[in-house]
Amino acid sequence: QLQLQESGPGLVKPSETLSLTCTVSGGSISSTSYYWGWIRQPPGKGLEWIGSIYYSGTTNYNPSLTSRVTIYLDTSKNQLSLKLSSVTAADTAVYYCARHAEMAKGYYYYYGMDVWGQGTTVTVSS
């Protein structure tokens, strides 16, 4: 059974870089046709898609964050990583990693986030 576990500092100072890791167990992060992604949720607010990476390494980022975000895969450790630079209090949130699986319906395929980590809380404060 696939499991995802986020880890990283719970407190980051303003202007610094937030770094999180998502460790994948019960499956390979190199499996074909999957995307892996990061989603965050500020306190009391909705879900915000941060970005996703295809198993091949191709990345896509939220246009509002693209200048500050990097997502990459470490296949040797079976991990997904997130770096968000120049953080402010607005980046305080619960950060989730999730697998995007390809699901068939008829002749077509659709992506959905079918497995999620439990989330990790990151607070940006001096």
Write each residue from 1 to 40 as x if it is in contact with other proteins (CB under 8 A), else as -, in one continuous string: ----------------------------------x-x-x-
Return the sign of the alpha-carbon dihedral for residues 83, 114, 42, 45: positive
Q: Does 48 bind other proteins (CB under 8 A)?
A: yes
- Residue 88 near residue 17, CB atoms below 8 Å: no
Q: Does 42 bind other proteins (CB under 8 A)?
A: no
Centroid of chain to Cα 98: 6
Q: How far is the CB of 48 from other proteins (least distance, A)?
A: 7
Residue indicated by tokens 């190199």: 30
Return the sign of the alpha-carbon dihedral for residues 103, 76, 60, 66: positive
Q: Which positions lie near other proteins, rule CB under 8 A?
A: 35, 37, 39, 46-49, 51-52, 60-63, 96, 98, 100, 103, 105, 108, 110-114, 116-119
